[in-house]
Amino acid sequence: MAYIGNFPTAPGFNAVNFKMNTQTKKTRAASGRVIRATNSTILWSGTLSFPPMTQAEFRPIQAFVAQAEGPLNEFDIVIPTVSNSQALDIGNGTNIAEIISGTVFVEGAHSAGDTSINVTTFPDSAGTATGDQVLLKAGDIVRFANHTKVYMATTDVNTDSAGLAVLNIKPALITALVDEEAVTTNNVPFRMIMSTDTQEFNYRTDNLIAYEIDIEETI
């Protein structure tokens, strides 16, 4: 098993069927009561479709898929729309995701199992914090620097005048965080593997190739 890098970005996907998977154990007692419990994290999977591609467009993708060797090797992939933040400047309501991305950091250490993470828009007191902004909207995805797992913001994340905020996430942290750890908030990559060993390539009579990938998150 190996990490083989970033999935090719060109020519891009034209359709995404994405799934959030939880593993809940459910038992119905004789009384009719349903007992529910979960001891697992949330994992993502999906089918991503390409537009019809020329040979020149398709061959780099095919070569990367060959390196994946089915589900054996893992890679990072940015999912259209899903990976994008809706960060806002409260003052004028403009999307500032590209500006904010790369400038959000964990404030203080956090343990595995935590679901509320203190964050700041600057890692130390020497810089100028960015306050009064919506760093993330509920449903946005983040990834911490020492994680391959992605997490979802369950509430809007608004900074105060000092640039501090609380990031509420699901699932709970699977790995501890250290102070000043960077947080990716836009174009967030998912760590994925191919779902199956068999890949099907549709060579059309107009000399274009149709292809879609089935992928699933790995930790």
Shared-domain flag, residues 94 and 183: yes
Q: What phi, psi does 6 have (nearest 5°)? A: -95, 135
Shared-domain flag, residues 112 and 157: yes
Shared-domain flag, residues 149 and 93: yes
Shared-domain flag, residues 93 and 183: yes
Shared-domain flag, residues 97 and 23: no
Shared-domain flag, residues 29 and 116: no
Summarize pLDDT for 94-124 with one digit per residue, the tens: 777 767 766 889 999 999 999 999 999 865 4
Shared-domain flag, residues 124 and 174: yes
CATH of the domain at 195: 3.30.200.190
Summarize pLDDT for 44-62 with one digit per residue, the tens: 999 999 999 999 999 999 9
CATH of the domain at 97: 2.40.30.290
Shared-domain flag, residues 31 and 50: yes
Give residue 103's domain range.
88-187
β 141-144/209-210 pair status: unpaired
Total count of domains within the chain: 2
pLDDT (0 to 100) of residue 125: 46
Distance in angstroms (rounded) separating the CA atoms of residues 98 and 91: 17
Shared-domain flag, residues 136 and 209: no
Shared-domain flag, residues 118 and 34: no
Q: Model-level pTM? A: 0.87
Are 64 and 171 spatial neighbours (Cβ–Cβ below 8 Å)?
A: no
